Structures are given as C-alpha cells and as structure tokens.
Amino acid sequence: MASKRTIILFRPIASPVYRQGEIPVQLLALARMLMPSHDVRIVTTETGLVRKTVAQVKAELAEHLDDCSALGVTAMTGYALRQALDMVRFVKQCAPNVPVVWGGWHASLLPETTLQEPEIDFAVRGQGEQTFVDLVQALESGASDFSSFRDRNTLPASSFSILSPDPSLLNT
C-alpha cells in the first residue's frame, strides 16, 4: 500500500496579546475530510495556552514538507497576516513546489489582495472545505487548468464604503 501524501493546515497567531487557546475546529473539520486519503498535519502557533516560538513553528512545518501535496493557511485580516506570510515564505524557500492555498476570513473578503502575494497560489472564499479537497485532488492529478474552480463559494463583493474611517486607509 502506497503511503499517503501529506497536507499541512496552518493557523497563525491572531494577536500579540490575546491567547487563541481554543481547538482549531475549522481545521479539524477540513482535516477530517482529507484523512481518508492523506496524512494531515495541523500546525498552530498555540497549543492550549502555550505559545510556540517562530523557530518551533518553522521546525514543525519543515518536518512535514518532504511529501507535502499542499499547505492550507487560514488567516483573519489583521495581525495574523504577518506570521502567516512569514511562514508561507519559509515553506516556499524550503519547498518551492508545494502549492499554498489560503482560506479563512482574509481570503474570503479580499481574494484579489490575497493573490497579489507571489507565494500564495490559490485563494478559497467562503465555506471552502469541499473546494479545498477538490483542489488538492486536481493538483495531485497534475491538472493545470483551474478555471472550473473560479467562482466557487462565491461571496458578494466587499463594500468598504460602509466603513469608518476612510476606506482609502485599507490600501496602505
């Protein structure tokens, strides 16, 4: 029996102060869908109330890159983006051919902005668990046309005009 390919699911630190000690339920749900066909590894910056160092997170990511089919990242807009991007850049330095797929709030609300980062290969919007599974299967089968994935899980365009302060601050 052939060994299962690895999928890494990563959740970065949400705040420099607030402890995100809860179980990453969203990643567990996605992992459960992938487990019949993959060795799934969830990497988070916190385990309970213990925060991992950057070196510990990098070591944990690197440990699973040898036979990795994809890195899935969930991140909220804000503080989490810095560590998420740092870890994605680290993964791409170690394993440049590992596809990086972003989901979560940031990718859902700002998919075009998300995809402007050269290290991010795909952005999944909305409730994207099945889309992620299908995307991994397509990647592993050698697909090169991903047009059928466009507009899946479509959300209405974000309207920043209802925000205060001035929405132009979002472009800085």
- DSSP code of 128? -
Which residue stretches of the chain have pLDDT < 50? 1, 153-160, 162, 167, 172
The gap from C-alpha 63 to its chain's centroid, in whole angstroms, comes to: 18
* pLDDT computed for residue 172 by the predictor: 46
* pLDDT computed for residue 153 by the predictor: 47
CA dist 67 and 5 (Å) reads 6
The gap from C-alpha 8 to its chain's centroid, in whole angstroms, comes to: 9
Query: Is the preceding omega at residue 165 within 30 degrees of 0, hence cis?
Result: yes
**What CATH number should be reported for the domain whose range is 5-171?**
3.40.50.280
Residue keyed to tokens 């850049």: 89
Using a 10 angstrom Cβ sphere, with 0-12 exposed, 13-18 middle and 19 or more buried, the burial of residue 163 is exposed
CA dist 98 and 82 (Å) reads 20
CA dist 45 and 59 (Å) reads 12
